[in-house]
Structure 1
């Protein structure tokens, strides 16, 4: 018989808004946690962010799947007391207010711990709960700009380029979910929770191991190299007759196999391509050889030849192609629910497969305050 979902029995009080916090708690919900979303009486901010369908934010509903909604006015003494009483029954609190706000409201970690010593309380912010920038406004674009990731993304011609998703928020939410799961193990062993301080800035810095290694090795900030890998070559997008394909070779044996596949074994002895460093220094010359070979072939032809040779190459899918691909369907990563107003809404569940655990049933996103009486029976 399959085990219960990994976080079955864990209650999460979600005070967060928009993306980083809601993404974190969505991952916890996907793993079986009971997530109670506390919203203002006007609804969480992202209920009012597009895109919309029939007046419902698709963005909000994707990020808040599987949660229950309770509306409270946290400036009201009675509602604040209701929240603190609810925290007594919980395992986790997640918030992403600007540092200092929860203390002013009387719902900070100290207030929560006084009611429940085993509470794991995660605070997500742009720059951390203290430090020289703790009070600064932080959106994903700001954090991407300050973390260094924009400086190495794009080409010299394009200038610094934002990643195509809000990775500052998403990575912070992911690290928060990891930290919460880790802290829950400690709380189970010791009976004591702790305060988790998760900064978007810190989280993005943790995503730069290659660039950090380059900086330490050379003393220079890594340049923008477009789609190329900054160290390994050939590792980029290349042109065939009907479009672009990607090719990723990261070893000497892989390069030799590529040369053989191209019927150009002479390239193996060419000193310009003798090793990874030489190939990177002579990248334009190697690119020309690869694109001369790909000329007269379609992307599908090239990808087929590379695949038959055991080399890593592919076409470039758009978002729709990726989400509707046979691979995504087989893995079951895209799930959907029926919303009472917006109809069918699909989302990508947390991607880890827990082999011995049941996958929680798909649960839709909540209407505002839908579960007030269920979560706080007898109130109002």
Structure 2
């Protein structure tokens, strides 16, 4: 039995944030019905690279779903949608703020059809505020949340994260929000509306950076691979590549000094505390690099393991996918589609003792299930 078995999700969303959230709900057993315009309404289908005519970007966010088409601008199609709502548990959409109301399909109206419905609206900036009507794109959210300001080289320009991190984080909040609302519905019998904003999610995910400013007035700096609060905590050069070393505690720094055969650094007035090490971080990094460049990554990785100091090789995506840890965790899955063949993907990271997550459906072709729903 799957935990969300008998839960029906109507997925009106496009691109990545909300579709990834509905995919995760599908992984947990929900019946996810993806609803698009008959001519297609998800530009993600058009983004390469492609395999067997299918966008690999689209494939990344749409397994475990069915697909039907409806033109919600037509009254007859809206009535079909309302009929689906009457037997559904969750609606997830990421139309611009106000668009569902223009269609007469806003929460207050749909609640009349089904008082138990949970309606999640994912937007760039939320249902209120001066930017409520603005579209939300991940790079814009990264820029406006301050994330780019603290990402990138010290002397370089603000840099976005290499994946759509605001979208991905928001997809997780989709799932958290739905699970909590389902639990509350168990207690009260009522559904509710969830207003979820990419901007809110990314700002709330700035963690120590925003805490430092709000509570101490401290403005975090762009430090490349260094850390705002800890040293040494960055990338170092080896003979054959790069390695990340994180000496996050005083004991770990002492162990690192022993590993590097530099016990005198422990009592060095420049390095005796983390605050002092941060003040002399560039000098310390230069001194460490002079040593790390003398060995290969694998040699240092073994030494770090032996001394119980957190560290890891800086891998390419290909190396990460081929890593023994990836294989040991069985993280790469496959699912078959009758038209375009095998789809490979990274499995859901939740590994339960009493649940085997199932991958029933490959990402569907537009309208694939029109005749079966």
| 2:2 is aligned with 1:5 | yes
Q: Provide the rounded CA distance (Å) in 1 between the counterparts of 2:164 and 2:359.
A: 28
Contact 1:27 1:349 in 2 (8 A): no
Corresponding residue number in structure 1 for 2:125: 127
Q: Give me the CA root mean square deviation.
A: 1.4
Q: Provide the rounded CA distance (Å) in 1 between the counterparts of 2:48 and 2:86.
A: 35
Contact 2:235 2:243 in 1 (8 A): yes
Corresponding residue number in structure 1 for 2:47: 49
The farther-off stretch of 305-314 and 143-152 is 305-314
Question: How many residues in Structure 1 have an aligned counterpart in Structure 2?
Answer: 372
Corresponding residue number in structure 2 for 1:328: 326
The farther-off stretch of 226-235 and 208-217 is 208-217
Match 1:30 to one of 24, 27, 40: 27
The farther-off stretch of 253-262 and 328-337 is 328-337
| 2:246 is aligned with 1:248 | yes
- Residue 271 of structure 1 aligns to a residue in which SS? coil
Shift of 1:54: 3.1
Q: Deviations over 1:321-347 (max 9, x none)?
A: 222322122223321212334332212
Match 2:273 to one of 272, 275, 295: 275
The structure-2 alpha-carbon separation of the partners of 1:324 and 1:363, relative to structure 1 and needing over 3 Å to count, comes to: farther
Corresponding residue number in structure 2 for 1:140: 138
Query: What TM-score does the superposition give when structure 2 sets the normalisation length?
Result: 0.96
Contact 1:214 1:221 in 2 (8 A): yes
Corresponding residue number in structure 2 for 1:344: 342
Match 2:372 to one of 365, 371, 374: 374
Corresponding residue number in structure 2 for 1:291: 289
Q: Provide the rounded CA distance (Å) in 2 between the counterparts of 1:343 and 1:62.
A: 15
| 2:58 is aligned with 1:60 | yes
Q: Provide the rounded CA distance (Å) in 2 between the counterparts of 1:248 and 1:6.
A: 38
Corresponding residue number in structure 1 for 2:356: 358
Structure 2, unmatched stretches of 5+, are: none
Contact 1:27 1:177 in 2 (8 A): yes
Shift of 1:47: 2.0
Shift of 1:217: 4.9
Corresponding residue number in structure 1 for 2:206: 208
Match 1:183 to one of 173, 181, 192: 181
Match 1:166 to one of 164, 167, 173: 164
The farther-off stretch of 27-36 and 295-304 is 295-304
Q: Deviations over 1:351-374 (max 9, x none)?
A: 122221232244211122111222
Corresponding residue number in structure 2 for 1:316: 314
- Residue 145 of structure 1 aligns to a residue in which SS? helix
Match 1:230 to one of 228, 231, 241: 228
Shift of 1:120: 0.9
Match 2:106 to one of 108, 113, 119: 108
- Residue 371 of structure 2 aligns to a residue in which SS? helix
